[in-house]
Copies of this chain bind each other. A is one copy, B any other.
Amino acid sequence: MLVRAFIPAHITAFFFPRFHENPMKAGSFGAGVNLNRGTNVIVSIEEGMENHIHVAFNGKPVKRRAARISYGVAEEIIPEGFRGDVEVWQYFDFPNGHGFGNSAGGALGTALALAYSFKNRTLLQAAQVAHAHEVINGGGLGDVIAQLHGGIEMRIKAGAPGIGVVDSIFFDDYRVLAVPLGRLSTREILKGDVIEKIEFEGRRALDMLLNSPTPENMMRLARDFAEKTGLLDGELLEIARELDRVLRLPSSMVMLGRSIFALLRPDEVQSAVGVLDDLSIENYSICEIYNEKPKVGRWTG
């Protein structure tokens, strides 16, 4: 049987972390947007004599040490009594490490597809397994719960799915420009000195967004957060400023990746693309906002 799960890419606009020794209580506060591109996970299950789990990223098999989160999720959800082969094929629309939630997408997609197949977990139970392995392995804190909700989301209480609380902002006709430019280690940033600024600016941004919950306000607060924390600087800041010249709302930095994003009205797409062309940036996507729950179901190809 083949089962497919689609998990949206998730861009964090601003955030502050909540560390906790209990992974169910660890998470993040903040806001972000889910995209109609992201991670597809296809799970194949065949009964047999021995147990094997295989994980592949974009068609290439990966060893356990390079995919601890996915192997951990699979081992926890596959029932003890099961004997056979489980293959987990993960396909990513965005490059890894650039801030689009691939790690959480792979973890959540694996969890949902396996729970759907074995019928042994609810949606929240499966998502909690994904969240816990993300947190324990330093993959991320808030992507899983954000991806589970879709849309333009606000994490107003940190924690695992079913414990944290996610709210949504209403939006109308926006596209999302996503420009992945380089990798950034979430883990190193969360350990560095910038964390105090992130705590202060992130909390302030969330309070202000709750006072006036609009996509426009989110983008202004995101850019403030990115500049005041000092995370957005150098080449990235220059690109953001070039985009600002032709867009109504400020662009900002993807938290956390060396990547830029912006909300575009349909009539702004052409000029945004023009700016990127002038900068010789070829790798970008114009996405829709994904305002649904993740999709899980039998896959017939």
Tell me the nearest residue of chain B to A116, going by C-beta. Answer: B170
Q: Does B167 lie within 8 Å of A125, measured CB to CB?
A: yes
**Given A123-B167, A125-B167, A172 and B214 touching (CB < 8 A)?**
no
The A111-144 residues at the B interface (CB cut-off 8 A) are 112, 115-116, 119, 121-125
Q: Does A154 contact B (CB under 8 A)?
A: yes
Per a CB cutoff under 8 Å, which of B121, B170, B291, B297 touches A119? B170
Query: Which of A121, A156, A167, A292 counts the most B-chain CB atoms under 10 A from its CB?
Result: A167
The A208-224 residues at the B interface (CB cut-off 8 A) are 210, 213-214
> Smallest CB–CB gap between A256 and chain B, Å?
25
Residues of B within 8 A of A213 (CB): 119, 121-122, 125
Tell me the nearest residue of chain B to A162, going by C-beta. Answer: B165
> Smallest CB–CB gap between A266 and chain B, Å?
13
Count chain A residues whose beta carbon lies closer than 8 angstroms to a beta carbon of B: 29
Chain A contact residues: helix, strand, loop or mixed: mixed
Q: Does B296 lie within 8 Å of A293, measured CB to CB?
A: no
> Smallest CB–CB gap between A272 and chain B, Å?
23
Cα distance, A153 to B112, chains bound together (Å):
16
The A81-132 residues at the B interface (CB cut-off 8 A) are 112, 115-116, 119, 121-125
Cα distance, A123 to B125, chains bound together (Å):
24
Per a CB cutoff under 8 Å, which of B119, B121, B169, B210 touches A123? B169
Interface bits A249-274 vs B (CB < 8 Å: 1, else 0):
00000000000000000000000000
Q: Does A28 contact B (CB under 8 A)?
A: no
Q: Does B170 lie within 8 Å of A115, measured CB to CB?
A: yes
Per a CB cutoff under 8 Å, which of B119, B123, B210 touches A214? B119
Q: Does B210 lie within 8 Å of A154, measured CB to CB?
A: no
A: residues with CB less than 8 A from B are 112, 115-116, 119, 121-125, 150-151, 154, 156, 162, 165, 167-170, 172, 210, 213-214, 291-293, 296-298
Q: List 11 A-B contacts (CB under 8 A).
A: A121-B213, A122-B167, A122-B168, A122-B210, A123-B151, A124-B165, A125-B213, A151-B293, A172-B298, A291-B293, A292-B293
Given contacts A115-B170, A119-B170, A123-B169, 8 further A-B contacts (CB under 8 A): A119-B213, A119-B214, A122-B168, A123-B170, A124-B156, A151-B293, A156-B162, A293-B293
